[in-house]
Structure 1
Amino acid sequence: MSSAVNHITVDCVGDPYDLARFWSAVTGDPLADDDFPGDPEASVIPPAGTGPRMLFVRVPDTKTVKNRVHVDLKPTDRTRDEEVTRLLELGAALVGDHRRPDGTGWVTLADPEGNEFCVERSDAERAGHRPDDAGA
């Protein structure tokens, strides 16, 4: 017997819809059809079979310590550094830069509610070339 991860639940004190919109822009996945501003919960729904939903739920208490669980993102069509720039433009905040001179490492960011997540190198970068010149 086993279980599948159905949701990754993220607490927030602000509007769950706003935080879901941020994560929808991050992942490119849509919000649930029945989500609306001011709703006490909102979901980002990936295509069937590609991963769990992200569920954002309003809670009364603010975040006070480092996350014990976090999401690691791997860019699919750009470099890690390009993705970090894009996410900062979307409203993420820089928490820690763990990039190394040899190109390895990751960047820790926080979403608009302060929940940390990491951005790793893309598969193309791990293979030694940029995502946009994968055929070269």
Structure 2
Amino acid sequence: MTSVVNHITVDCVGDPYDLARFWSLVTGNPLSDDDQPGDPEACVIPPAGTGPLMLFVRVSDAKTVKNRMHVDVKPTDRTRDEEVARLRDAGARLVSDQRRPDGTGWVVLADPEGNEFCVERSDAERSAHPAT
């Protein structure tokens, strides 16, 4: 028997609803209809069968070190560089630029709470310029 990942839980010291709105923008998935600003938790819900929910929970302690686990996102309808620009405009902060001259690599961003995540190349970019 196996298990499936049901939630990816992200701690935050601010309003979980605000952080969930950021991740809703990142993923294009809606927030739960039950969530409201000021609630102690909020959830971003992907279409059924497409992946785990993202659950944002208020905690009292701030992030102090690098994440032990993070998510990688891959744009579906734009390039990696366009996605990085879009997410920075939405409030993400650049942590580390790992793009290489041959077009491979990734970009490490942090969400408004400082949780790090990577932006990878899109499938179209991978097909057009596979890694050597």
CA distance in 1, matches of 2:123, 2:26: 18
User: Alignment partner of 1:126: what SS?
Assistant: helix
CA distance in 1, matches of 2:28, 2:121: 18
CA distance in 2, matches of 1:37, 1:79: 32
CA distance in 2, matches of 1:22, 1:105: 24
User: Which structure 1 residue ranges, 4+ long, deviate > 6 Å from structure 2?
Assistant: none
Gaps in structure 2 of 5+ consecutive residues: none
CA distance in 1, matches of 2:128, 2:9: 35
Between the two proteins, the alignment pairs up a number of residues equal to 129
Gaps in structure 1 of 5+ consecutive residues: 130-136
User: Alignment partner of 1:69: what SS?
Assistant: coil
Q: Counterpart in 2 of 1:38?
A: 38
Q: Counterpart in 2 of 1:24?
A: 24
CA distance in 1, matches of 2:24, 2:105: 25
Q: Which amino acid aligns with 1:58?
A: R
CA distance in 2, matches of 1:34, 1:124: 36
Alpha-carbon shift at residue 103 of structure 1 (Å)? 0.3
Q: Counterpart in 1 of 2:56?
A: 56
Length-normalised TM-score, structure 2: 0.97
User: Alignment partner of 2:112: what SS?
Assistant: coil
CA distance in 1, matches of 2:128, 2:25: 27
**What's the % identity of the aligned pairs?**
83
CA distance in 2, matches of 1:18, 1:92: 13
Q: Which amino acid aligns with 1:71?
A: V
Compute the RMSD of aligned alpha carbons. Answer: 0.6
